[in-house]
Structure 1
Amino acid sequence: MNNRGIVADKISQLPEALILQILCLLPTKVAITTSVLSKQWQSHWKMMPKLKFDSFLHRLGLENVSKSLLSHKAPVLQSFGLKVRLDGRNNAVDIGILIGIAMTRNVRKLVLEVYFHRGSFAFPRSLYNCVTLETLKLILNVVMDVPSSVSLKSLRTLHLLAVDFKDDESVINLLSGCPNLQDLVMRRHSSSSVKTFTIVVPSLQKLAIHNGSGGQQRWGYVINTPSLKYLKLEGSKAFESFKIENVPELMELVYLELYTNKKEWWKLLPLVLLSSPKLQVLKLIDDIDCMNFVEASGVWNQPKNVPECLLFHLETFMWEGYKWKREEEVEVAKYILKNTNRLKKAIFSLKCVSSEERLVVVNDLKSVVRATTNSCQFQFI
């Protein structure tokens, strides 16, 4: 008996559940090849609860994926992943067939990564009406045209990475069809056609938005999520407007980046501060060239009550590209420094401040720090 046979024989003595766990640690393509080890091993992979096919990297045809999936016998498919690049040979019909087969296996988690450079294609209806689907992760550079008849009642987690939608209605149709959604992650790309993304999901508890660069586009958001407890905003350079409504339970936001060269950013900041009692790190960014900025662009209206995050949790305050000659920036900086009790580190980038004015700016900022935060470390770079 060769070494391969010895190893297979030893593993064969393990409980079936443990064998399946081991197979799930392997790439699916490799796990399937174990069927050549012996007659007994011909059926092991067919009961694997997790399958992942990569026809993009390994040139594995969708026809072969379909054959493998049809041979699969597990009554419940805990996870099904597919990565594919569509071209003249592989089309959306193939994707629809594979998703349909996965649905017949009572799939719980679907991870679909599709690359297609010829426009949009319609997803199969089965994707929008799966009663068992709990997690859906879409990594797509295609346009989704979502029908109004979406019914994903078991869906708890939805990731939309580089996903574009045909129109605002498609966004509303998808989210309104997920009445029990709790976790939503979005990463938008520069060609996104939906200008204002409306998120009205009463059940949503966690929301993470990465706004991308946006190119020349400026995107807006309207968030109405009464159960939201966690909000993460990244890549805010392309934010044009941001409206938060009805978020009484937002409690766990600990890190925030906000670009201060965008229209009316100072109106967004108080709202986020008041809605984020556990905020620990605040980073403000202005990447406009020092020679081109406007000295005054708005009026800072400080909150009537000092936000809880400033009083009890904020430890790090950073401002890249701080512009001393902008009145609203000076007022914001002083307000935060004056009202923080636990600040440990304050970092200001003074690239737009002349060497003659630098000392004045430094002393001006340090002068407003509360006595309780005298231990705060300042860095001026």
Structure 2
Amino acid sequence: MTMAIKRKRNSELNEAKTDRISDLPDCILSHILSFLPTKVAISTSVLSKRWKPLPLSLTTIDLDDTSFCFRDQPQFSFVTFVYRIFLLRPLDVPVKTFRLKCETSYGHDVDAWIRGAIQRKAERLDITVPATVSGLGLWSVVFNCEWLVELRLMSVFEMIRGISSPVNLPSLKILRLEGVRFSDYKCFFNVLAGCTNLQHLVLKDLAFFYANHNSESYLSFMMNLEKLKIFHYPHPIPTFNNLVHMELNILNYNWDLITKMLQNSPKLESLVILKGTPCLNTTCVFHIKDLNSETLLKVKSGWDRGLESKGRKWKKNV
């Protein structure tokens, strides 16, 4: 082997050993780490001194208590971990996204964590918890966060109550409420009325302690929506001038309702109709060009022949 070949090979080996990732700017490294669960991202701080301060500047905090090994003390390791994240992180370092998923109830600790995220200007909140003991204090903060762009609350079975003052969410574009319990319809309406620029709305499995609702349509607050998913809706249908995508999930088809939705959605481009349970769905997907009553009759005829009983997915381009 000639000296030139040896030098070339040694050069290639040295180049292969070079840590190119660590040479990247902090902003790029932090962006890469933001795609990892926060527990994993923080573990990179042991790699070298270069990586040690990076977790403190993460723009996404993604927490899941199932990633912790619960033994004799099922809560303390996770609770301590979350509080350390907020205590070590300066208030002037913003959090873009705060995602919290828990299988264990942490009571008022959840309130404190959400407040900590909002104090750090979180634009996206994604909260999945089995129960909270939240009262007026927390919700008055969440529902008056002027910079919040996306809010997802799932499985929050403790009642959201006491929202009698105006809700102010002028920047909110995406709202998903699933398994959320409200004290009454007025409280629920106040939330929707404060989302003046909402574009994407998902409502599923909501519960109301006092069923004192009237015939007022909560979708009347949402007429500028661009995307909508409906799982059950007994009220009159308003006109959606900006709606381009709609999903209907219903147990028994009401073709008059579907026709009315189409008539009141002049810019609709795609329609998804789901029938049945989550484990056995029949799906009809339409790309809207000229959907008329004759087409709906054909679709109804197709289901009447028993397509849904076979659990088949049926797609149709119109």
**TM-score (structure 1 length as normaliser):** 0.59
Secondary structure of 1:63's counterpart equals helix
Select 1:75's aligned residue among 90, 93, 98.
93
Q: Confirm or deny: 8 A CA contact 2:135 2:160 kept in the other structure.
A: yes
Matched, 1:170 2:190: no
One-letter amino acid of the structure 2 residue matched with residue 70 of structure 1: L
Secondary structure of 2:299's counterpart equals strand
Shift of 1:234: 3.0
Select 1:232's aligned residue among 232, 243, 246.
246
Q: 1:95 to 1:227 in 2, by over 3 A?
A: farther
Shift of 1:83: 0.9
**Distance in 2 of aligned mates of 1:270 and 1:203:** 20
Tell me the residue number matched to 2:285: none
Shift of 1:31: 0.7
**Distance in 1 of aligned mates of 2:148 and 2:34:** 20
**Distance in 1 of aligned mates of 2:28 and 2:168:** 35
**Distance in 2 of aligned mates of 1:228 and 1:49:** 32
Secondary structure of 2:29's counterpart equals helix
Deviations 1:130-153 (A, max 9, x none): 121111111124132251232112
Q: Confirm or deny: 8 A CA contact 1:203 1:225 kept in the other structure.
A: no
Tell me the residue number matched to 1:292: none
Select 2:225's aligned residue among 201, 204, 207.
204
**Distance in 2 of aligned mates of 1:12 and 1:317:** 58
**Distance in 2 of aligned mates of 1:224 and 1:135:** 24
Deviations 1:277-326 (A, max 9, x none): 65777869699xxxxxxxxxxxxxxxxxxx9412898797254663xxxx
Secondary structure of 1:53's counterpart equals strand
**Distance in 2 of aligned mates of 1:13 and 1:349:** 62
Shift of 1:168: 0.3
Secondary structure of 2:203's counterpart equals strand
Matched, 1:51 2:66: no
Secondary structure of 1:42's counterpart equals coil
Tell me the residue number matched to 1:96: 111
**Distance in 2 of aligned mates of 1:10 and 1:279:** 46
Q: Confirm or deny: 8 A CA contact 2:155 2:180 kept in the other structure.
A: yes
Matched, 1:157 2:174: yes
Q: Confirm or deny: 8 A CA contact 2:150 2:173 kept in the other structure.
A: yes
Secondary structure of 1:235's counterpart equals strand
Tell me the residue number matched to 1:184: 201
**Distance in 2 of aligned mates of 1:135 and 1:16:** 26
Tell me the residue number matched to 2:29: 19
Q: Which has the larger radius of gyration?
A: 1
**Distance in 2 of aligned mates of 1:133 and 1:115:** 23
Q: 1:63 to 1:276 in 2, by over 3 A?
A: same
Q: 1:202 to 1:266 in 2, by over 3 A?
A: closer
Shift of 1:160: 1.0
Secondary structure of 2:147's counterpart equals coil
Matched, 1:221 2:235: yes
Tell me the residue number matched to 1:108: 123
Please state which structure has a larger fraction of its residues in helix: 2
Q: Confirm or deny: 8 A CA contact 1:281 1:317 kept in the other structure.
A: no
Shift of 1:225: 5.5
Q: Confirm or deny: 8 A CA contact 1:146 1:174 kept in the other structure.
A: no
Secondary structure of 2:234's counterpart equals strand
Q: 1:221 to 1:141 in 2, by over 3 A?
A: farther
Select 2:260's aligned residue among 265, 268, 271.
271
Q: Confirm or deny: 8 A CA contact 1:286 1:321 kept in the other structure.
A: no
One-letter amino acid of the structure 1 residue matched with residue 117 of structure 2: A
Secondary structure of 2:36's counterpart equals coil
Shift of 1:162: 2.1
Q: 1:208 to 1:284 in 2, by over 3 A?
A: closer
Select 1:139's aligned residue among 119, 143, 154.
154
**Distance in 1 of aligned mates of 2:274 and 2:46:** 59
Select 1:317's aligned residue among 274, 295, 299.
299
Query: Per chain length, whose mean CA-contact separation is higher, i.e. which structure has more relative contact order (CA < 8 Å, sep 6+)?
Result: 2
Deviations 1:104-152 (A, max 9, x none): 2111111011112xx8632613212212111111112413225123211
**Distance in 2 of aligned mates of 1:17 and 1:312:** 56
Q: 1:232 to 1:350 in 2, by over 3 A?
A: closer
**Distance in 1 of aligned mates of 2:235 and 2:293:** 28
Tell me the residue number matched to 1:254: none
**Distance in 1 of aligned mates of 2:150 and 2:230:** 18
One-letter amino acid of the structure 2 residue matched with residue 94 of structure 1: D
**Distance in 2 of aligned mates of 1:312 and 1:17:** 56
Shift of 1:204: 2.8
Tell me the residue number matched to 1:362: none
Q: 1:77 to 1:86 in 2, by over 3 A?
A: same
Matched, 1:121 2:131: no
Deviations 1:328-372 (A, max 9, x none): xxxxxxxxxxxxxxxxxxxx32999xxxxxxxxxxxxxxxxxxxx
Which 5+ residue runs of structure 1 have no aligned equivalent? 1-5, 212-218, 238-258, 288-306, 323-347, 353-375, 377-381
**TM-score (structure 2 length as normaliser):** 0.70
Shift of 1:68: 0.8
One-letter amino acid of the structure 2 residue matched with residue 221 of structure 1: H
Q: Confirm or deny: 8 A CA contact 2:111 2:134 kept in the other structure.
A: no
**Distance in 2 of aligned mates of 1:166 and 1:127:** 17
Q: Confirm or deny: 8 A CA contact 2:41 2:55 kept in the other structure.
A: yes
